[in-house]
Amino acid sequence: MEEIEVYDIDIIMTMLDWNNSDEVQAKGIELAEQIKSINVFLQPANPGINKNVWENCAKILARKPDNVLQPYLLHLLLWLEDINWPGAFIIIERLKNFSGEILVDVFSHAVNLSMMDWYSEMWLDYLSGLLNNKELRVLLEPDVLDVLCKHYNSFWGNSADLFN
């Protein structure tokens, strides 16, 4: 019978805290990579375990292949509601390299959600950064692309550069 290693997620989360030494955080990330249920790393908010682990959680998630992250795409896009949240830049960089075919429907849904909420302008600014994903960009509906280009221009730079 195969030996099964058991990892205590509470201990791992404690190790991921940015207040720990680099060595402890690195060991926490190493152990976390063995956890199969990655939903525990989607912006955890438990007593004592909250934004102080998000950066390391984003690092763990960013190393996962597209097919593992696919069920959690909306959660990853929601992480971009505030670009100042720890780990947001890691998530956006990972999604820039995500399969456009897999991402397009969930991304378009997130764009539509952002246009219905009071914080839509900021979230649209941040979501527009994914226009750097060429595979995604070419699959977007023209009206969605137009909205995102305007937000890209106001937050990230000249969207015309994306098309050259």
Last residue within a domain, chosen from 64, 83, 101: 64
Report the C-alpha gap between 26 and 132 in whole angstroms: 30
Same domain, 72 and 60: no
Residue 1 confidence (pLDDT): 46
pLDDT mean over 15-23 = 97
Report percent pLDDT > 90 for the chain: 79
Q: Kindly state whether residues 123 and 143 are assigned to the same domain.
A: yes
Model confidence pLDDT, tens digit, residues 57-67: 999 999 999 99
CA distances from 78 to 95, 139, 152, 160 (A): 12, 21, 18, 26
Q: What is the DSSP letter of 16?
A: T
State which of 23, 42, 64 marks the end of a domain: 64
Residues 70 and 57 in one domain: no
**pLDDT over 70 for what percent of the chain?**
94
- Please say if the pLDDT value at position 70 is more than 90: yes
* Residues 161 and 99 placed together within one structural domain of the fold: yes
In this predicted structure, the answer to whether residue 6 has a pLDDT above a threshold of 70 is no
- Whether residues 53 and 111 share a domain: the answer is no
Q: Give the span between the Cα atoms of 24 and 146, in whole angstroms.
A: 45
Shared domain check, 158 and 118: yes
Domain range for 29 is 1-64
Q: Final residue of a domain: which of 64, 86, 105? A: 64
Same-domain status, 41 and 95: no
Is 148 in the same domain as 81?
yes
Q: Tell me: the pLDDT tens digits for 79-137? A: 999 999 999 999 999 999 999 999 999 999 999 999 886 657 899 999 999 999 999 99
Q: Clarify whether residues 20 and 44 are in a common domain.
A: yes
Across the chain, what does the average pLDDT equal? 92
pLDDT for residue 5: 58
32 token code pair: 């976390």
Assess whether 90 and 109 both reside in one domain.
Answer: yes
- List the structure tokens of 124: 């649209």
User: Do 60 and 71 reside in the same domain of the chain?
Assistant: no
Q: What is the pLDDT of residue 119?
A: 59
- The identity of residue 118, as a single letter, is W
What does the alpha-carbon distance between residue 82 and residue 39 come to, in Å, rounded to a whole number? 19
CA 31, 35, 39, 44 dihedral sign is negative
Count of the separate structural domains present in the chain: 2
